[in-house]
Amino acid sequence: SETATVKVALAGCPNVGKTSLFNALTGTKQYVANWPGVTVEKKEGSFTHRGYRINLVDLPGTYSLGYSSIDEKIARDYILKGDADLVVVVADSVNPEQSLYLLLEILEMEKKVILVLTAIDEARKLGIKIDRYELQKHLGVPVVFTSAVTGEGIEKLKDRIVEYHEENDVFHRIVIKYEEKVESKISQIESVLRGKKIGVNPRYFALKYLSGDPEFYNEGVKLGLPELSEEERIAYRLLISKKKREYIESIVKEAYSN
Ligand code: GDP
Ligand code: MG
Ligand code: MG
């Protein structure tokens, strides 16, 4: 019989342990190519688990998913438009904040996400305690602790990938609420976009347009959204990223102790 395939994208900031995790999951079953049209390395690998063939794509390490580098553009386009069934966001257990920021951005794309806190061995060594349930509750995604050094959590992660893939629904999606000034703009934009073919969810489009992200801003103006001054776009961008950072800060405060 034919084996069902699950396509998983690995995202995370540089140096959080993404490649080590990729290696722990795939062993020697790896293939290296380039992303189409650019010389950025594309690493793919696979493993089988509970009757599924899992294909992993190691995305370039990025701090966010804006438009400011070729790496960000590759990672973002793949998550938005590629064929991944789910995204595994890899964070360093000791310093998770920046990867959690990335995770919030990917949740706004309405993707199925699993959070992996890796190098959990290091966190333990430092006496850091992390409440996994607290993280799951406030992020709305399954959370798995792993170590590429001890092998802890690797089989559990494989289980979670298969289980989450088999679920029809995304976990229990959290939606970051921005301040009223931003939310009312989002509503206006969503109503202009209603019925138009934009290829992504309207809320995500609205946030990117307001932030002045070139791809979505230019597309938005073409679709009839008003032009915004440079100052307005910067102000929205700051409000939006500040809210995400505050949210992460409060979650980490709740979930981390020593
Ligand atoms: P990437 O840049 O995200 O692909 O990260 P790498 O996989 O290259 O790892 C960055 C550094 O973290 C390397 O020095 C790894 O040896 C180390 N590292 C990765 N995973 C773990 C882990 O689970 N435990 C510990 N202690 N170190 C790790
Ligand atoms: Mg690296
Ligand atoms: Mg790497």
Strands 30-34 and 41-49: antiparallel
Residue 172's pLDDT is 66
Residue type, 130: I
pTM comes to: 0.95
CA 10–ligand 1 middle distance (angstroms)? 14
Which residues neighbour 29 within 8 Å (Cβ) at sequence distance 6 or greater? Answer: 45, 46, 47
Residue nearest to atom 9 of ligand 1 (CA): 17
Cα 252 from Cα 96, distance rounded (Å): 8
Q: What is the largest CA-CA distance in the chain?
A: 59
Residue 38's pLDDT is 85
Residue 36's pLDDT is 84
Residue nearest to atom 27 of ligand 1 (CA): 119
CA 34–ligand 3 middle distance (angstroms)? 14
Best residue for ligand 1 mutational test, from 16, 20, 23, 117 (most atoms within 8 Å of Cβ): 20
At 1, is the pLDDT very low, low, confident or very high (cuts 50, 70, 90)?
Answer: low
User: Residue 108, CB half-sphere, CA atoms under 13 Å: how many?
Assistant: 24
Question: Which bound ligand lies closest to the C-alpha atom of 20?
Answer: 1
Predicted confidence (pLDDT) per residue in 45-94, tens digit: 999 999 999 999 999 999 999 888 999 999 999 999 988 999 999 999 99
Question: Which bound ligand lies closest to the C-alpha atom of 15?
Answer: 1
Average pLDDT of the chain to the nearest whole number: 94
pLDDT at 173 over 80: no
Question: Which bound ligand lies closest to the C-alpha atom of 13?
Answer: 1
Nearest C-alpha neighbor of 257 from the set 90, 112, 131, 81: 131
Strands 86-92 and 30-34: unpaired
Cα 114 from Cα 56, distance rounded (Å): 13
Residue 170's pLDDT is 66
CA 14–ligand 2 middle distance (angstroms)? 5
Residue nearest to atom 5 of ligand 1 (CA): 17
The interface pTM score, or ipTM, of the predicted complex is 0.97
CA R_g for the chain:
19
* Cβ pair 78, 57 in contact under 8 A: yes
Residue nearest to atom 6 of ligand 1 (CA): 17
Count the neighbouring beta carbons within 10 Å of the beta carbon of residue 116.
27
Residue nearest to atom 13 of ligand 1 (CA): 17
Report the side by side order of strands in the sheet with 4-12.
30-34, 41-49, 52-58, 4-12, 86-92, 113-118, 143-145
CA 133–ligand 1 middle distance (angstroms)? 24
Cα 69 from Cα 58, distance rounded (Å): 17
Q: What is the mean predicted confidence (pLDDT) over 212-221? A: 96
Residue 2's pLDDT is 67
* Cβ pair 55, 10 in contact under 8 A: no
Residue 83 — φ and ψ, nearest 5°?
Answer: -105, 20
Q: What is the mean predicted confidence (pLDDT) over 156-160? A: 98
Pocket of ligand 1 (CB under 6 A): 12, 14-20, 61, 118-119, 121-122, 147-149
